């Protein structure tokens, strides 16, 4: 599903965020990405989302070198990836329902089908009863779950999450991780950047460990 081949990323010509990255993630895998802050976890995810291009090497997603994508193809590529952000990236002037329906609106799905899928996604994260609420009326954990619902509403084959439990207490964090495991169980490839070592150690999935932009450990690979 994802292959990094000798990938390096420099910012501004000097600062080396990532170097000599080589790894593969198979379809249907669930992988944690960990390391201290500044180790390059976010940079790595940004490369997969094609928010950045590698300075060196190739990033191959589903058989395509994504650096070769034309700018006009990038939106269509991104629609295949669900992303959960640490700060949710919710729009605060629209209801929960309209936040979650955003990816479907962008794809031009018809309203009735949109409503059905949004409710299914909200049901999955346990927020069906809050669909009319505004994001500010929700707790941090609920906001994060709205973000997850939005990421999975168009059934992406790849789900990325950047510190999805960053600001949550342990119980909520465990719940959120449980959700990701559910999605993984139905075939979605999941990659989660997190520094919550205790939590991810308990979950027994593959862990990629970064330090100073280099891959220092690849544990639990199948």
Partner 1 sequence: MKPSATPRRPKGAAPKVSRTKARAPARPESPKPKSRGGANSHQTRFSSRLRAWGRHHRAMSWDSFYRLVRHPVGNLLTMLAIAIALVLPAALWLTLDSARLLDAELDESATLTVYLQTSVDTAQAERIEQAVSAEQAVLDTRMISAEQGMVEFQQSLGLDDALAGLADNPLPASIVVRPRSVEPLAMQQLASTLEALAGVDEVRVDLAWVERLRHLAALGRRVALALGVLFGLGVLLVVGNTIRLSVESRRREIEVVMLIGATHAFVRRPFLYSGAWYGLGGGLLALGLLGLGNHWLSLPVAALAASYGASFSLPQLDMTGATILLSCSTLLGWLGAWLAVTRHLTSIRPR
Q: Give the binding site for partner 1 (CB under 8 A).
A: 1, 27-28, 49, 51, 61-64, 66, 69-70, 72-73, 75-81, 83, 89-91, 93, 102-103, 105-111, 113, 120-121, 123-124, 150, 152-155, 157-158, 182-183, 185-187
Nearest approach, Cβ of residue 28 and partner 1 (Å): 6
Contacts of residue 4, defined as CB under 8 A and 6 or more positions apart, other chains included, come to 21, 22, 23, 24, 44, 47, 57, 58, 59, 60
Q: H or E segment at 148?
A: helix 140-152
Nearest approach, Cβ of residue 127 and partner 1 (Å): 12
Contacts of residue 38, defined as CB under 8 A and 6 or more positions apart, other chains included, come to none
Cα separation of the two ends of the chain: 15
Nearer to partner 1, 148 or 210 (CB): 148
Residue 19 and residue 39 in contact, taking contact as beta carbons nearer than 8 Å: no
Nearest approach, Cβ of residue 188 and partner 1 (Å): 8
Rounded CA Rg of the chain:
17
Nearer to partner 1, 114 or 165 (CB): 114
Nearer to partner 1, 63 or 198 (CB): 63
Nearer to partner 1, 61 or 191 (CB): 61
Residue 143 and residue 135 in contact, taking contact as beta carbons nearer than 8 Å: yes
Nearest approach, Cβ of residue 68 and partner 1 (Å): 9
Nearer to partner 1, 4 or 183 (CB): 183
Antiparallel, parallel or unpaired: β 30-34 and 206-211: parallel
CA distance readout (Å), 221 to 23, 26, 153, 170: 11, 10, 29, 25
Nearest approach, Cβ of residue 20 and partner 1 (Å): 25
Nearer to partner 1, 3 or 201 (CB): 3
Q: Work out the number of other CB atoms within 10 angstroms of the CB of residue 132.
A: 10
Nearest approach, Cβ of residue 34 and partner 1 (Å): 22
């Amino acid at each position: 599903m994802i292959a990094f081949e000798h990938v390096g990323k420099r910012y501004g010509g000097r600062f080396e965020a990532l170097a000599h990255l080589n790894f593969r993630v198979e379809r249907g895998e669930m992988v944690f990405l960990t390391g201290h802050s500044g180790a390059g976890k976010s940079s790595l995810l940004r490369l997969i989302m094609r928010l950045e291009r590698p300075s060196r090497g190739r990033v191959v997603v589903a058989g395509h070198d994504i650096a070769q994508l034309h700018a006009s193809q990038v939106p269509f590529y991104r629609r295949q990836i669900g992303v959960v952000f640490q700060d949710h990236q919710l729009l605060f002037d629209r209801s929960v329902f309209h936040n979650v329906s955003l990816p479907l609106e962008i794809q031009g799905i018809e309203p009735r089908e949109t409503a059905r899928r949004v409710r299914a996604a909200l049901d999955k994260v346990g927020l069906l009863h809050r669909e009319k609420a505004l994001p500010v009326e929700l707790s941090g954990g609920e906001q994060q779950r709205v973000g997850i619902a939005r990421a999975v509403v168009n059934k992406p084959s790849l789900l990325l999450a950047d510190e999805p439990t960053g600001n949550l207490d342990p119980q909520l964090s465990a719940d959120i991780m449980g959700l990701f495991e559910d999605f993984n169980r139905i075939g979605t490839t999941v990659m989660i950047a997190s520094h919550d070592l205790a939590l991810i150690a308990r979950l027994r999935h593959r862990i990629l460990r970064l330090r100073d932009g280099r891959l220092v450990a690849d544990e639990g690979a199948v």
